[in-house]
Amino acid sequence: MSANNKSIQKQCADHREILHAGDEAETSQVRREPWIDVGACNQLAQKTVQQVFVGDTKIALTCKDGEFGAISGVCNHFGGPLAEGTLAGDYVVCPWHSWMYHRSTGRGEPGNEHDCVATYEVCVLDGRVLIRSEP
């Protein structure tokens, strides 16, 4: 196991609120308070940007170099779907007007850092990707 994976698993393990979910279907959303299981790590790692849901909230989940990031799935500009955008370096590019947000911090691109979207903690535990339910 890589040092990065150990760090991610420790981050999740440090939050004792996580409950074991048992044998849930891989596509179902499992609630492990205050974390939401959004799917299998090996499946979600196949796309650089994709939409997942935390309850009714749209999240743009990114994966770069094996590390996940999660930001609001809605662009501040005109409400564009960030999960339908692309990843340019560490920035999610909105498909509507090319506004850019850092995939982990939610900050706007250099020069527009004040324009931020909500971010969500992400961790991988037992091969599952979990996102904290509150930004």
Spell out the domain ranges in the chain.
3-132
Query: Which residues are bridge partners to 22 per DSSP?
Result: none
pLDDT category at 12 given cuts 50, 70, 90 is low
Please provide the DSSP assignment of 38-85 as one string.
EEEHHHHTT-SEEEEEETTEEEEEEEETTEEEEEESB-TTT--BGGGS
**Architecture category of domain 3-132 in CATH:** 3-layer Sandwich (2.102)
* pTM exceeds 0.85 for this model: no
Residues 68-74: what's their mean pLDDT? 98
More confident residue, 32 or 103: 103
